Amino acid sequence: MENKIAISQNQMQIINNQQTMQLIDCLVSHKETELLLFEKELSLIKAIDGTNLKKVEKTIGVINLIKAICFLLNRFSSSFNVGKSINENQSAILASDIVEKYPYETIEDVVLMLKQVRQGIIGDGKDFKIDGQNVLAKWFPEYLDKKYIEVERQNQKLNETTKEESNAVELYYAKLRKQKSDKEKRIAAENQIDEMVKSMDRAMLEDTILDWSKKEEMKPYLDYLKRKRLIIK
């Protein structure tokens, strides 16, 4: 299989993920220094937010995706003195198996998984041989265990945030409902006062003001009643 990856600018834009576009550009052009910098900044959270292999395959084609993963596998293999390096046919088969077995994991996951094996975070720190047994049965499952712990943590954090926002919204609307209820009660009370004072003279008004000033439940309406002094002489 020819190693050259042919991807158009339109295909890159369809991916619509700046991080993934940057990674694919590194893989297409075999930009080793840029890929090292990309790895350095790559975290589990960023890998989770990447583009899954199924979408990448649909966008750039399965052949180009397999070539990209082959480059990562060969790059990893060449960084260790583990005897005979993986050959072109072996890397192509293994890359195809990764695409088939893990379509909903991201291409960033592949990069981060290999980086963590290289650093001894995943695996036994001794066996770095690139083959199906290590990659598919050991390293990737161990990496995914760590990944989904982080996914669960992020989901829990999101649920807590959503719950807090939901409570805040509920409190806001409860406040609005109370304000509306209080306003309706005040308007109804003022209408009753308007009707009541129509038959009052000034002495009756003053007696009522004095009486209401002694009753807690009537004090909220006392100021409105007092304003009737302006019209009852």
Bridge partners, residue 106, by sequence:
52
pTM over 0.85: no
How many Cβ atoms are within 10 Å of 44's Cβ, its own excluded? 20
For residues 78 and 85, the answer to whether their CB atoms sit within 8 Å is: yes
Across 91-98, average pLDDT: 96
- Total count of domains within the chain: 1
In a domain, 102, yes or no: yes
With vertex at residue 128, the alpha carbon angle to CA 125 and CA 133, rounded to the nearest 5 degrees, is 110
192 belongs to a structural domain: no
**pLDDT score of 70 more than 90:** yes
More confident residue, 43 or 218: 43
Asked which of 6-15, 54-63, 173-182 is least confident by mean pLDDT, the reply is 6-15
pLDDT value, residue 81: 63
- Domain residues for the domain of 30 are 9-153
Three-class SS of residue 52?
strand
**What confidence category does residue 149 fall into, taking pLDDT thresholds of 50, 70 and 90?**
very high
Contacts with 84 (C-beta within 8 Å, 6 or more apart), sequence order: none
Residue 228 forms part of a structural domain: no
pLDDT surpasses 70 at 183: yes
The reply to whether 51 falls in a domain is yes
Q: Give the pLDDT mean for 66-92.
A: 86
Does 182 reside within a domain?
no
Query: Contact at 8 Å (CB) between 96 and 102?
Result: no
